[in-house]
Structures are given as structure tokens and as C-alpha cells.
Structure 1
Amino acid sequence: MKPRSLMFTLYGEYIQHYGGEIWIGSLIKLMSHFGISESSSRGATLRMVQQGYFNARKIGNKSYYSLTNKGKRSMLDGVSRVYSVRSVKWDGYWRILTYSVPEEKRELRNQIRKDLSWTGFGMISPSTWATPNPLEKQVMELIMEHGLEDYVILFTSSSIVSHDNEEIVRRGWNLEEIGIAYEGFIEEYRKKYEILKDRAWNNELTDEECFIERTELVHEYRKFLFLDPNFPVDLLPENWSGARARELFYNIHQLLSIPAIRYFESVFEQASDGEVVSDRNRAINPFINMM
């Protein structure tokens, strides 16, 4: 696991539900379970501060870290997509974005391509991206954040005259390839689920193991955010493997959640200058109000 990606997983899964701030010592211990050394954890934390994702503050000789607004947007976007409802009906509108960014701003052009891909847009022709999902607000925030108002046009359309919806999907996304990736996840984690169920039934799983397994599960499943555009059910193939992978993810997640949270709470140290209001139920079951 890369330290930055793991940090976003830890904040999204655990820390945000306990006040959103953690002592660096606790963070280092949590990350050590995944092969991240103390020096790597400290270095990654410093880079997150420099890049505007972390706030840092000291109390005595201890340092505490929380997400900035920029960091929260990145974290919450990923969390909402992991745990949100997936079986929504399409409203029939394509959101289409075109851009013409000058060569001297090519770094911004590359960044907006990455951001559009992350949010689920697909490139249907050069400099033209589309999605069937209602992401207008999110994309406008992205445009303003990068100062691209003069170079981008975002509009909606209920139909694309030259191509039918199936052809647009084929142009922008490789659902077959994504489906194969989901099948790989299912094959690996179905076997793991059976083993974990047996061990849980026999009281052989420790809280620490459950924390590690839950965190690795979420970290692996989050990779599909970079692949799966999260289409409305109307545009997906029949017997979509993504739906079966999600059900398996939910079952394993809930099997591990309570002991995983107990372990996190045993390591987590809050700041001494205030009372942390925790939402333990949401930490145990982030699917609440999202299913």
C-alpha cells in the first residue's frame, strides 16, 4: 500500500468518525500493520501537509493531524462512492464536458483528465467527456478550483443524435474489462470470506486481525473507483459482476467491523484539549443511510 492512499483509507474508514483528528503516534502504529515504516509515515504526513491535504497542530510535544477542506473533499468523495446506493435509475441525461486548454497550461489539462476519469467520466472523442451521472455540482467545483472557466463548457443533453446510448458507452468505457476485474475480486474474496466466517465462528479472529483484514478489503475495493464509472442500472449489462462484488464486499465488511473498530479504538489517541464526539455506529456500519 502507498502511504498516502492508506491514509485516506484510514481517515475515511475510522478517523472521520472520531473527531477527524489523530495523534501521529497512533497513525504510525495503524500504518505499521501494512508494512509502512515510521519514517515513511512521517514523510508521507509531511507531504500531505505541504500539498494542502492535512492540517497539523501541536499540543505539548505531540503532533495531531486532521484533513483540510481539500482533503475532506477527496476523502468523502471516495467514501460516498464506496458506500452509496448503486442501483439507481438513469434520469436520461448525459453530462457532457468539452475543453480547449492552451499548451502552456498542459499540466492543468492533464489534471482535469485525471479528475474527470476519477469521477467516472469517459472520453467519447478527443477533448469531449461524458457521464450519465448527475455530477454537475462536483464538476463545476473542480473547474473553479483549477481556474478553468475560460476553457471548459459543461452541458446536459437528453440524446446524442449521431450515436445511440450503447455506442456512447462503448466509446467511453470498457465495461467488459471492468467486469473481468470484478470477477477477479470475487474469486479471491469469496474464498477468504469462507475462511473468515469459519474462524469468526470458532472465535479464532483477533481484533487486530479484523482491523487489518477490513482495512485491506476497503483498500482493495477502493481501486474500483478508478475503473468503475458507477453507471445507473439501466446502462449496465445483465448479471453485472460489480453488483455481486459489492454484495460480497458488504458481507465481509460487516463480519469484521465490530472487532476492527475495537482495535482502532484501542490505538486511537485523541487530543487532550477537547472532547471528541464519535459516531461509533457509523464507523461500524458506514452503509447506514446509504443502502
Structure 2
Amino acid sequence: MADSPLRPSSLINTVYGAFLRRLGGWISVADLLTLMAELDVDGPAARSAISRLKKKGVLEPERRGATGYRLSPGAHPVFDEGDRRIFGSLEPAKLSDGWAMAVFSVPESERSYRYQLRTRLTWLGFGNIAPGVWLAPARLLDDARDMLVRLGLSEYVHLFAADYAAFSDLPATVSSWWDFPAIEEQYAGFTDAYGPLAAALARRGGVEGAEAFRHYVPMLTQWRRLPYLDPGLPAELLPADWNAVAARQIFQQLNDVLAAPALRYVQELTGLPQESAR
């Protein structure tokens, strides 16, 4: 488990993202509470988290013989983007691919949008070059475009596909655009929490059933924050001892060992048919 408790709402998001989207997107409240109990989340805390996710528009109530919740249509693009970030960005970007640049200007009368833009671009992994100027590896361009349109912020932003031409020492400069120590601290926390588990499961040769589920959901919940903090900068621009490399290896190892048996466990518990694979 992670050193700090994971929020029940974050665990529920992981359950929907990792499993329920592949099983129709719906689950009964009774089965969801059973799954949350496996993660040491009691009924009142789970129900409170479900209520918050409903108010945020992530979940919608739907009765299918039993009371349950499904992902709202608006949540699907967010989860799809999460898949791309979590499972598709394990390798660093290539310097030759260039950059995505976002430039925005917001009138003072609408300064709340300025805060939203800063927050959302930071969450996507953009680094701040100068006031109103943000940069990320080029592979984040489509996600940035989709996010800005989805949130109604596109009218304030110009997006560019850019190349760096001159004049600074780029590795040294990049380290001032992203908070490398904070990113490395998060990777170190993940490695400390899950490195021993990866080693233990390698010795055992895997795990099945509820045990796989209990390991996988907290692990994935902690990991899925990291691809947003770290945009996957080209290796040439990173410190030689960049600790993301070891953390990614641990994540990949645990994902390979735990994802499939955890999904089988959820499917067997709920009786839901599997619709598609990632």
C-alpha cells in the first residue's frame, strides 16, 4: 500500500477505469461496496465517495434489476485520456518529435479562467516557460486540444507545434520549467511502496483472485498521478540518475502480473460480461 491513505473516491475511479469500462461500465451498489471492502473502505465511506462522484458528474445512477451506477458519458473521454497517459507514455518522448506550446491571454475580468488554464495545463504535464507560455512534449498536443475544448477554454489559448532552435543550454533550462525534485519525490515514494511487492511477486510467480485486486487497485491509484506530474521529457534533458526509470519498471512489472487476474476477480464477483480489452 502507499504510505498515505488513498481517498475512497480515487479508488472507485480506478475500479471503474481499470475494470468496469471493460464490463459494460455499470455495477450494482452492493457489488461495489463488496469491492471497496476488499480495499479496507467501509460502507459509509464508500457511499459518501459514490455520492461525491455523482455530484461531480462522473457517475450516474441506473437500475438494472438492482440499484447501481454507471460512468456518465462525459467521463469516458477523461478515462480514455487517462489510459493514454498511464499505459501509453512509459517511454520518454523523443527530442526530435518537438514540442507542444500553449500561449494564453485572459482578460482581467475573467481571471478565474487564468487559474483554470494554469491548473489544467500543469495537470496535463506542461511546464511554465514564462507568464502565459507553457510547453510540453509534442505527444501531449492532442490531449491538450481535447481538454481545452471539453472545458470551454479554447478561445483563450493558442496551441503550437514547435521546435527548439536556440539559445540556451536546454537541459539546464528545462529543469527550471518543471519541478524535478517534486517529481522525483513522487517516484521515490512509489518505488519505496511497491518495489518490495514487485520483488515478492516475482519470487512467488504471480497471484490470483482477491489478492491480485487488493494489490492492483491501490498500486494503480498511486501510479496514475505520476504520468501527469511527469510529461515524459526526452532522456537527453533529464538528470543521469532520473529515478522515473526504476519506478516505471516496477509499475510495468506489477501491471503485467496483476491486471489480468484482478479483472478476472471483478468479473467473477459481479457476473458482468467482458465487452472489450484495453
Fold in common (TM above 0.5): yes
Alpha-carbon distance between aligned partners in 2 of 1:194 and 1:144, rounded to the nearest angstrom = 43
Give percent identity, aligned residues only: 28
The residue identity in structure 1 corresponding to 2:227 is L
**1:142–1:258: structure 2 CA closer, same or farther, 3 Å change rule?**
closer
**What is the CA-CA distance between 1:170 and the residue it aligns to?**
1.7
Picking from 54, 60, 63, the partner of 1:55 is 60
What whole-Å deviation, never above 9, does each CA across 1:21-40 have from its counterpart, x for those lacking one? 22222112112223333233
Contact 1:94 1:157 in 2 (8 A): yes
1:273 corresponds in structure 2 to none
2:45 corresponds in structure 1 to 40
Alpha-carbon distance between aligned partners in 1 of 2:153 and 2:261, rounded to the nearest angstrom = 46
**What is the CA-CA distance between 1:239 and the residue it aligns to?**
4.9
What whole-Å deviation, never above 9, does each CA across 1:46-98 have from its counterpart, x for those lacking one? 332332222322234x2232222321122222222221141442334222212
The residue identity in structure 2 corresponding to 1:129 is W
1:75 corresponds in structure 2 to 79
1:209 corresponds in structure 2 to 211
Contact 1:95 1:155 in 2 (8 A): yes
Contact 1:133 1:232 in 2 (8 A): no
The residue identity in structure 2 corresponding to 1:221 is W
Question: How many residues matched?
Answer: 272
Unaligned stretches of 5+ in structure 2?
1-5
Question: After the TM superposition, which residues 259-270 of structure 1 pair with which residues of structure 2 at under 5 Å, given as runs?
Answer: 259-270=261-272
1:64 corresponds in structure 2 to 68
Unaligned stretches of 5+ in structure 1?
271-275, 287-291
Question: After the TM superposition, which residues 214-229 of structure 1 pair with which residues of structure 2 at under 5 Å, given as runs?
Answer: 214-229=216-231
2:25 corresponds in structure 1 to 20
SS in 2 for 1:240: coil
**1:250–1:157: structure 2 CA closer, same or farther, 3 Å change rule?**
closer
Picking from 76, 94, 102, the partner of 1:97 is 102
Contact 2:117 2:153 in 1 (8 A): no
1:278 corresponds in structure 2 to 275
Of stretches 64-73 and 214-223 in structure 1, the one that deviates more from structure 2 is 64-73
2:3 corresponds in structure 1 to none
What whole-Å deviation, never above 9, does each CA across 1:140-195 have from its counterpart, x for those lacking one? 22222333344222223212545342244122113344234323432442222233
**1:150–1:252: structure 2 CA closer, same or farther, 3 Å change rule?**
closer
1:138 corresponds in structure 2 to 143
2:243 corresponds in structure 1 to 241
Of stretches 257-266 and 75-84 in structure 1, the one that deviates more from structure 2 is 257-266
What is the TM-score with the length of structure 1 in the denominator? 0.81
Alpha-carbon distance between aligned partners in 1 of 2:38 and 2:113, rounded to the nearest angstrom = 36
Contact 2:124 2:229 in 1 (8 A): no
Contact 2:11 2:218 in 1 (8 A): no
**1:233–1:268: structure 2 CA closer, same or farther, 3 Å change rule?**
farther
Contact 1:14 1:264 in 2 (8 A): yes
2:234 corresponds in structure 1 to 232
**What is the CA-CA distance between 1:234 and the residue it aligns to?**
3.9
**1:96–1:87: structure 2 CA closer, same or farther, 3 Å change rule?**
closer
The residue identity in structure 2 corresponding to 1:268 is T
The residue identity in structure 1 corresponding to 2:275 is S
Contact 1:95 1:157 in 2 (8 A): yes
Alpha-carbon distance between aligned partners in 1 of 2:214 and 2:133, rounded to the nearest angstrom = 41
**1:163–1:70: structure 2 CA closer, same or farther, 3 Å change rule?**
farther
1:147 corresponds in structure 2 to 152
What whole-Å deviation, never above 9, does each CA across 1:201-227 have from its counterpart, x for those lacking one? 5x9x66212210111111121231342
Contact 2:267 2:274 in 1 (8 A): no
1:289 corresponds in structure 2 to none
Point out 4+ residue stretches in structure 1 off by more than 4 angstroms. none
